[in-house]
Amino acid sequence: MDLDLYEILPWIAALAFVAIGLMHASDRPPMRGSWLAPSALAALLFGWSAFTIAREGFAVWAEHTRNAWGNQIWFDLLLAAGLALALLFPRARAVGMHPARWLLFVGLSGSIGLFAMLARCLFLEERRRVAAP
């Protein structure tokens, strides 16, 4: 059984999802530098998106309007991003971020913007903790 890259990468992403979930399931505060992981994920996803656009063209909307599965994936992505933003916005406001700007960025870039927003929020929270007496 020969698996190609497009069959392997979804499994790697699923394992990463489980690993990240387990790492953050505890009640302990974020470790110093915790903003680096979402920064790296944003960069990796941006790179993969750039590769995909260069190879396949910008067919995002066509993929989401092709059939019922495309619609379902679009609905799922929007609802998951909306939920993530609803949970992240109070923390973002608390460290001086402007949620409306981030809503636009996430709306245009999806998870890339969401990971970047989380990284920025974690960075500002860490800076605030370090600066506190």
Residue 56 inside a domain? The answer is: yes
**Is residue 119 domain-resident?**
yes
Hey, what amino acid is at 88? L
Q: How many whole angstroms separate alpha carbon 33 and alpha carbon 18?
A: 21
- Domain membership of residue 81 (yes or no) is yes
Identify the domain containing residue 89 by its residue range: 33-131
Q: Which amino acid is at 10?
A: P
Q: Which residues contact 73 (CB under 8 A, 6 or more apart)?
A: 63, 64
pLDDT tens column, 91-114:
999 999 999 999 999 999 999 999
Please check whether residue 8 lies inside any domain of the structure: no
Q: Please report whether residue 27 resides in a domain.
A: no
28 has a pLDDT exceeding 80: no
Q: What is the pLDDT of residues 66-84, one digit of tens each?
A: 999 999 999 999 999 999 9
Give 25 or 86, the one with higher predicted confidence.
Answer: 86
Indicate the pTM of the whole model.
0.84
- Residue 99 lies inside a defined structural domain of this protein: yes
Measured at the CA of 93, the angle between CA 92 and CA 95, to 5 degrees, comes to 70
> Is 62 a domain residue?
yes
Residue 49: band (very low, low, confident or very high) from pLDDT cuts 50, 70, 90: very high
Q: What is the pLDDT of residue 60?
A: 87
Residue 127 lies in a domain: yes
Structural domains of the chain, count: 1
**Residue 1 pLDDT > 60:** no
